[in-house]
Amino acid sequence: MSRVHYGTRAASRLSRRRVLTIAATVGVGASAAGVAGLSVAGEKPVSGDSAPLVLSLRDAKKGTFDVFSGGSKVTLTDAKLAAQLLKAVKRA
């Protein structure tokens, strides 16, 4: 029996480990600046290095990132990481 999934299936392409690897490669350590409180009660947090994680660069100048993982969003500020990623994107 196969199962139909549209939910929080673990992704192989963009995992927490992979993003951390990218960050390590560009030589930047990010610092947590805040946690958004949008999560709905009853959502179980998805944890572990295999959990999908998505970065959104909200403000390139300030280096403000929204980091989405499981049922939460964390806001990070790291101007250097932002610059490195932008540089990488332009190269691609």
| Residues lying near other proteins in the complex (CB under 8 A) | 1-9, 11-14, 36, 38-43, 46, 52-54, 56, 68-73
Three-state DSSP string of 7-25? CCCCCCCCEHHHHHHHHHH
- Judged by beta carbon, residue 20 or residue 80, the one nearer other proteins is 20
- In whole angstroms, the minimum distance from the beta carbon of 37 to other proteins comes to 8
User: Residue 28 in contact with residue 84, Cβ under 8 Å?
Assistant: yes
Helices (H), 12-78: 16-25
- Judged by beta carbon, residue 70 or residue 77, the one nearer other proteins is 70
- Judged by beta carbon, residue 11 or residue 80, the one nearer other proteins is 11
User: Residue 85 in contact with residue 30, Cβ under 8 Å?
Assistant: no
Residues in the chain: 92
- In whole angstroms, the minimum distance from the beta carbon of 38 to other proteins comes to 3
- In whole angstroms, the minimum distance from the beta carbon of 14 to other proteins comes to 7
